[in-house]
Amino acid sequence: MDLVNDLVTLLPELILAALVLVIVAVDAFLPRADKWILTPLTVAGLILAGAACVVVWGVNETVYFGFYVVDDMSVFIKGVTILAGILSTLFAPTYLAIRRIPLGEFNMILVTALLGICVLASSSDFVTLFIGLELMTMPSYLLTGLHKTDRYSNEGGLKYFLLGSFASAILLFGTAWTYGLTGTTSIDGIAAAVGGEMSAGMLVAIGFLTVGATFKIAAVPFHYWTPDAYQGAPTPITGFLSVGPKIGAFALVIRIFVEALGPLRADWLGIFLVLTVLTMTVGNVVALTQTNVKRMLAYSSIAHTGYIMAGIAAFANAPDAETARQGIEAVLFYLLGYAVMNIAAFAVVAMLQRDTTRFGGLASFAGLASRAPWRAAAMTVLLLSLTGIPPTVGFFAKLYILLATVESGLTWLAVIIVLNAALAAFYYLRVVVYMYMRDPEPDPAPVDNSPFGLVALAVSVAGVLALGIFPNAILRLLEVSAASLF
């Protein structure tokens, strides 16, 4: 083992770990009036970590005795994760300051969660997979309950912690069961050991692994923690929670089901299809009934989980390797587009919550086009993208999922996705109607004009449109990333 070269492959993770220490040290000595410096400091560190991803792109090596793999798929996921971290860092300061939530604590915990997602993405062994999972979820619990004086935040954090810990235990039990059956925790070793032959013991292991993994991605029926955790958490943090842990959880799903249990995909495909349809349908139907935009976006995030799961199902049902790769490409592209548009959508909700008595109701958006036209226009673009209307990234993300499902022979699933997208249009466009066709409240919600937030919102909207108009710019990266698994 070449220690120096192995350390180079860990460059993004090392930078994130160092950034955590820097944030803690600087925060300890900064006076309260200068805490804002932590935001550009954190963003600069994350940009540096993103640049490190470019350095390790194309390495495609397994290091540290087979426990860690730096392939192009993991590097792509790390890049998306860091992008989500940058946006979350820029959107949060004003919201947190009004509620007297320490900015240093937020930044430190956020970067720790990002580090966990990166470790999770590069895990090539069930041991490192679980370490990365806990390094991601523990900070997520803390972020949910970070507003210590708010009982909803406390309740959401406690529910997330208790149910998340239970799900982690189930996943760990599935891991132990798999080890007992195969004699190894290596992902490649498990794939070789199962050899495409299902046994009663392996069926039990897959059951435990499925429950644990689908809880982490908030799939129905393991989604009950999601609305309370998302509504209780501070709104900019909710934006990150709806994206960051989901990215990490789908990295876990890819490592377990695509790689380790790939030879048995015909056996787990059926239950995955059922969960996929349930997740997107239940998420959309319940979102229809919501009058609180924050809670509506929470349920819609469940529906988006279902769309992404359809890409995994397309992989499992693919007749050949090329079609299987197309399913993984669709998953990766959707994660990228979803990260940009969903964090920004929650950020706009947060911008209307300068008044701490506001909770993101539809009435807060009434007449927003007359009060803050650029903010309303940005939210409209984001909602159109979440709906899947061209020329936004949301349209092409859904299109690639649809193409993957059709190519793999799951045409009926593509029809269900289209019907669900039409259902989602109602509650997304309802917010647009309120912004442009309703009179403002007698005492309208004040709008946050933080320069950090405005820059991040402009970048997000530009990204949503650029990726929608020029998707080919990212397609080559997706092809290379997905190919590293095959």
Closest CA to 327 of 305, 302, 309, 306: 309
- The closest of 116, 106, 87, 111 to 336, measured between CA atoms, is 87
Q: What is the pLDDT of residues 30-41, one digit of tens each?
A: 888 888 899 999
DSSP characters for 184-226?
A: --BHHHHHHHHTT---HHHHHHHHHHHHHHHHHTT-TTS-THH
Structure confidence by residue, pLDDT tens digits, 292-326: 888 899 999 999 999 999 999 999 999 898 999 99
State the burial class of residue 207 (Cβ atoms within 10 Å of its Cβ: 0-12, 13-18, 19+).
middle
Band the pLDDT of 334: cuts 50, 70, 90: very high
Residue 420 — pLDDT band, cuts 50, 70, 90? very high
> Can you name the residues that pair with 176 across neighbouring β-strands?
none
Tokens of 441: 């409240």
Task: Measure CA 240 to chain center.
Answer: 7
Confidence of residue 222 (pLDDT cuts 50, 70, 90): confident
Cα–Cα distance, 486 to 472 (Å, whole number): 22
Single pTM value for the model: 0.95
The partner residues of 186 in beta bridges, in order of sequence, read 125
Residue with tokens 């041991």: 127
- Three-state SS for 125? strand
Percent of the residues in the chain that have a pLDDT greater than 70, as a whole number = 98
Residue 195: left if φ>0, alpha if ψ -120 to 50, beta else—which one?
Answer: left
* Tokens coding 483: 């190919």
Give the torsion through C-alpha atoms of 181, 183, 184, 185, to 10 deg: 50
361 beta partners: 292
Query: Which ranges constitute the DSSP H helices of 289-372?
Result: 293-317, 321-351, 368-371
Pull the structure tokens for residue 150. Answer: 């708010």
* Token pair belonging to 393: 């990234």
What pLDDT, on a 0 to 100 scale, did the predictor assign at position 206? 93
Average pLDDT score over the chain = 91
369: exposed, middle or buried (Cβ count in 10 Å: 0-12, 13-18, 19+) = buried
Q: Does residue 228 surpass a pLDDT of 90?
A: no
Is residue 292 helix, strand or coil? strand
Q: Alpha-carbon distance 119 to 350, whole Å?
A: 30
What pLDDT is stored for residue 431 in this prediction? 93
Q: Is the pLDDT of residue 394 over 60?
A: yes
Band (pLDDT 50/70/90 cuts) for residue 435 is very high
CA–CA dist 348, 412 (Å, integer)? 36
Residue 365 has pLDDT above 90, yes or no: no
Distance CA 269, CA 363 (A): 43
**Span 371-386, average pLDDT:** 93
Measured distance CA(402)–CA(459) in Å, rounded: 27
Q: Which of 113-122, 139-148, 353-362, 377-386 has the lowest mean pLDDT?
A: 353-362
Q: Look at the block and give the residue holding tokens 């994206």.
A: 243
What CA–CA distance (Å, rounded) separates 256 from 173?
Answer: 14
pLDDT at 199: 84
Whether the pLDDT of residue 358 is over 80: the answer is no
Euclidean distance between CA atoms 435 and 447, whole angstroms:
13
Burial of 330 (0-12, 13-18, 19+ CB in 10 A): buried
Q: Once rounded to an integer, what is the mean pLDDT over residues 193-217?
A: 89
Residue with tokens 């993991």: 74
Closest C-alpha among 360, 384, 385, 365 to residue 375: 365
- Residues 108, 149: contact at Cβ < 8 Å? no
Q: Is the pLDDT of residue 250 over 90?
A: yes
